[in-house]
C-alpha cells in the first residue's frame, strides 16, 4: 500500500487491494506487538493466504532489504574510511549470508509452498492425486519442520562483527545505519519465521491428516 492514504479506512484500502481485512489486521498486530500472537485465529486462515503473504515478504527481503544493506556497507567504505580488509570481510560475510537466505527462500517457494497449495486444493476438492500421494510417501511437512533453518540467528554474527570489531571510523553514523538495517531485517525475519514455524507448518500437519482421512 502506498503512502498518502488520505482519510480512507483500513477496510477500504484492503478492499481496493483485494486483501482480507481480518488477515491484514491480525498480521500487522503480530508484527507490531511481540506479545500478540493469536495462533488459533491465524491457523483459521486458508493456507494460500498465509503462503501469499509469506511470498510477498520474501520479495521484500530480496528486492529491498538485502540490496539496501549491501549499498549501505559500500557507503561505509566511501564515507567512514573503514580499512579496506575490514570492509571486504564485512561485505563477504554479508554476501555469504544473502546467498544462504536466497537458497532458503528458493527451496520454500519451489518445493514447500507448491506442495502446501496442492494439498489444500486436493482437500477442497476432496480428491486424492497420484502426484501428491507419491510426494507424501517420501516427504511430509514434518521433515521440513525439522530441517527448517533459523535464518535470523545467523545475522547475530554479522551484527557482532560490526559492534565488537569495527575499527574506529571517520563517521560512525553510516555504521549505525547499517546496524539499524540489520536489526530491522532480523525483526522482520523473526516475525516471518514465527508465522512459518508456529502457524503454517502445524496447520499443514493437520491438513495432511485430513487429506489422509478424506482420501484413505
Residues that bind Fe ion (CB under 5 A): 108, 196
Q: How far apart are CA 125 and CA 27, in angstroms?
A: 28
Shortest distance, position 31 Cβ to Fe ion, whole Å: 15
Q: Is the Cβ of residue 82 or residue 108 nearer to Fe ion in the bound state?
A: 108
- Interhelix angle 84-107/66-80, rounded to 10 degrees, is 180
Residue placing its CB nearer to Fe ion in the complex, 82 or 105: 105
Each as own residue / partner, the long-range contacts of residues 64-73 (CB below 8 Å, 24 or more positions apart, any chain) are 65/181, 65/184, 65/185, 65/188, 66/98, 66/101, 68/181, 69/94, 69/178, 69/181, 69/182, 69/185, 70/94, 70/95, 70/98, 72/174, 72/177, 72/178, 72/181, 73/178
- Of 56 and 213, nearer to Fe ion (C-beta) is 56
How far lies 84's CA from each of 66, 90, 136, in Å? 21, 10, 51
State the minimum distance, in angstroms, from the CB of residue 140 to Fe ion: 17
For residue 182, the tally of other CB atoms under 10 A from its CB is 22
Minimum distance from residue 107 beta carbon to Fe ion (Å): 8
Least distance (Å) between residue 200 CB and Fe ion: 9
Ranges of H-type helices in 61-154: 66-80, 84-107, 113-125, 130-138, 141-147
Helix axes 47-60, 201-215, angle to 10 degrees: 140
Specify the residue, 108 or 208, whose C-beta has the smaller distance to Fe ion: 108
Least CB distance to Fe ion at residue 203 (A) = 15
Identify which of residues 11 and 111 has a Cβ nearer to Fe ion in the complex: 111
**Smallest gap, in angstroms, from Cβ of residue 85 to Fe ion?**
33
Measured from the CB atom, is 80 or 151 closer to Fe ion? 151
Amino acid at each position: 500500500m502506498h503512502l498518502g492514504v488520505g482519510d480512507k479506512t483500513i477496510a477500504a484500502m484492503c478492499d481496493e487491494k483485494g486483501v482480507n481485512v481480518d488477515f491484514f489486521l491480525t498480521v500487522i498486530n503480530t508484527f507490531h506487538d511481540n506479545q500478540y500472537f493469536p495462533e488459533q485465529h491465524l491457523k483459521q486462515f486458508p493456507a494460500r493466504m498465509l503462503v501469499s503473504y509469506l511470498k510477498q515478504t520474501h520479495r521484500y527481503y530480496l528486492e529491498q532489504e538485502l540490496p539496501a544493506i549491501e549499498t549501505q556497507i559500500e557507503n561505509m567504505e566511501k564515507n567512514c574510511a573503514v580499512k579496506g580488509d575490514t570492509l571486504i570481510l564485512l561485505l563477504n560475510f554479508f554476501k555469504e549470508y544473502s546467498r544462504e537466505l536466497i537458497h532458503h527462500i528458493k527451496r520454500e517457494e519451489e518445493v514447500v509452498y507448491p506442495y502446501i497449495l496442492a494439498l489444500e486444493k486436493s482437500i477442497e476438492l476432496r480428491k486424492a492425486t497420484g502426484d501428491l500421494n507419491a510426494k507424501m510417501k517420501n516427504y511430509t511437512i514434518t521433515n521440513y519442520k525439522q530441517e527448517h533453518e533459523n535464518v535470523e540467528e545467523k545475522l547475530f554474527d554479522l551484527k557482532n562483527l560490526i559492534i565488537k570489531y569495527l575499527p574506529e571510523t571517520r563517521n560512525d553514523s553510516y555504521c549505525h545505519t547499517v546496524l539499524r538495517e540489520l536489526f530491522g531485517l532480523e525483526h522482520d525475519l523473526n516475525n516471518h519465521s514465527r508465522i512459518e514455524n508456529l502457524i503454517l507448518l502445524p496447520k499443514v500437519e493437520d491438513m495432511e491428516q485430513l487429506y489422509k482421512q478424506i482420501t484413505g
